């Protein structure tokens, strides 16, 4: 028995999240339970609370995935969550007022908490379970994508910004505790907002290297959490493709050259898209797809496992862009599987030409 296995046997609870996945399944994690629908209340937040299902719909439409060849996410249990979260914080979530504040949906405070748990928090717990599962899958397969997750504003004892559970921190802690050979992790956070949740969690942990690229003028502006960032790239309002992609490539390469991790957690928020009501940046759909390609190429060329989570993105068309990006990663030979064509020249402009009409057709999906 290895030292890590001995420690695990003594201290780790039994979890249903680290399951054996058939080799016929792609390391793409999703559950229909991700999507939040409840009397239209989810529409009171700019977040498209059904975007995850739309991503899957588009990937099926392109025949990249089928129902039987992706991994169904499981809900994180309280024991799973307690690996990172305090009991006090989890008890706070039993108050609808607290959940209404975290999710920024004020009417939730008038609902019985059992409904809030079932209709809002259970989907978020399932996405959190999906991120933890995808962490193990990334180590097994070299890459994994959780079509949800990326709740980077939540720390062990505080939620906010639609983030109720610290899935990124949890995925890393599970890997450190349970997977032999994982002792260093790098977070590449490219959501438009600062990832203050995981930054607070890993503030004094030298095993975790954080690169964060964000709009310096928007939420959360957490100066204390910024101390955890090893490679900080603060952007101005309206930053466009050329400057953005140059910085992403320069700093992704630099971060991985400076500190070679055992796993990369890539927070791939699409709220950098031009016109996003909260992101304040001006990146094109093609720019987002190219960004993801840059990060995956940097990881795959070095043989470093990478886990991608989808995080923020507040426009209806972001689901199409996420799907197009996954398809492009396959066409570039950066992820395996699916029925798409062999890797070749970048197909970003071609895919995007068809995106607008498809997104409009599914705007009420």
Give the active site residue among 152, 153, 198, 251: 153
State pLDDT tens for residues 159-188: 999 999 999 999 999 999 999 999 999 999
Q: Is pLDDT at 6 greater than 80 in this prediction?
A: no
Percent above pLDDT 90 for the chain? 81
Q: Is pLDDT at 253 greater than 80 in this prediction?
A: yes
Query: What average pLDDT does the segment 144-154 reach?
Result: 98
State pLDDT tens for residues 88-129: 999 999 999 999 999 988 888 899 999 999 999 999 999 999
Q: pTM (2 decimals)?
A: 0.89
Specify the pLDDT at position 49.
72
pLDDT band at 41; cut points 50, 70, 90: low
State pLDDT tens for residues 204-230: 999 999 999 999 999 999 999 999 999
- Per-residue H/E/C for 22-89: CCCCCCEEECHHHCCCCCCHHHHCCCCCCHHHHHHHHHHHCCCCCHHHCEECCCCCHHHHCCCCCHHH
Active site residue 198: no
Residue 329's nearest CA partner among 295, 283, 356, 305 is 295
Specify the pLDDT at position 337.
77
Angle (CA) 355 358 362, round 5°: 135
141 or 357, higher pLDDT: 141
Specify the pLDDT at position 234.
98
- Is the separation of the CB atoms in 164 and 93 below 8 Å? yes
Indicate the burial class of 220 (C-beta count within 10 angstroms; 0-12, 13-18, 19 or more). middle
Percent above pLDDT 70 for the chain? 86
């Amino acid at each position: 028995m290895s030292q890590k296995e001995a420690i695990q046997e003594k201290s780790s609870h039994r979890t249903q999240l680290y399951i054996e996945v058939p080799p016929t399944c792609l390391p793409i994690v999703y559950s229909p339970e991700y999507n939040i629908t409840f009397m239209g209340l989810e529409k009171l937040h700019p977040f498209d609370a059904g975007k995850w299902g739309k991503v899957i719909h588009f990937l099926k439409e392109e025949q990249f995935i089928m129902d039987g060849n992706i991994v169904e996410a499981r809900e994180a249990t309280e024991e799973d969550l307690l690996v990172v979260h305090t009991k006090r914080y989890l008890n706070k979530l039993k108050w609808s007022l607290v959940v209404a504040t975290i999710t920024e949906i004020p009417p939730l405070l008038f609902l019985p908490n059992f409904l809030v748990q079932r209709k809002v928090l259970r989907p978020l717990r399932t996405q959190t379970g999906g991120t933890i599962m995808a962490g193990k899958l990334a180590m097994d397969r070299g890459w994994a994508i959780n079509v949800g997750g990326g709740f980077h504003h939540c720390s062990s004892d505080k939620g906010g910004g639609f983030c109720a559970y610290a899935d990124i921190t949890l995925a890393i802690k599970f890997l450190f505790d349970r997977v032999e050979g994982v002792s260093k992790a790098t977070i590449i956070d490219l959501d438009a907002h600062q990832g203050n949740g995981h930054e607070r969690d890993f503030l004094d942990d030298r095993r975790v290297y954080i690169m964060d690229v964000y709009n310096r003028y928007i939420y959360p502006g957490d100066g204390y959490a910024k101390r955890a960032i090893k490679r900080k790239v603060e952007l101005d309002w309206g930053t466009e493709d050329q400057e953005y992609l140059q910085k992403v490539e320069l700093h992704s390469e630099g971060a991985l050259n400076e500190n070679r991790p055992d796993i990369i957690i890539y927070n791939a928020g699409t709220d950098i898209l031009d016109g996003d009501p909260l992101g304040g940046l001006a990146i094109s759909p093609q720019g987002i797809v190219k960004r993801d390609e840059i990060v995956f190429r940097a990881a795959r060329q070095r043989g470093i496992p990478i886990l991608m989570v989808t995080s923020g993105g507040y426009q209806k068309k972001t689901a199409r862009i996420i799907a197009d990006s996954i398809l492009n990663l396959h066409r570039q030979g950066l992820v395996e599987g699916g029925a798409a064509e062999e890797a070749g020249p970048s197909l970003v402009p071609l895919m995007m030409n068809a995106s607008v009409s498809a997104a409009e057709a599914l705007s009420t999906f």
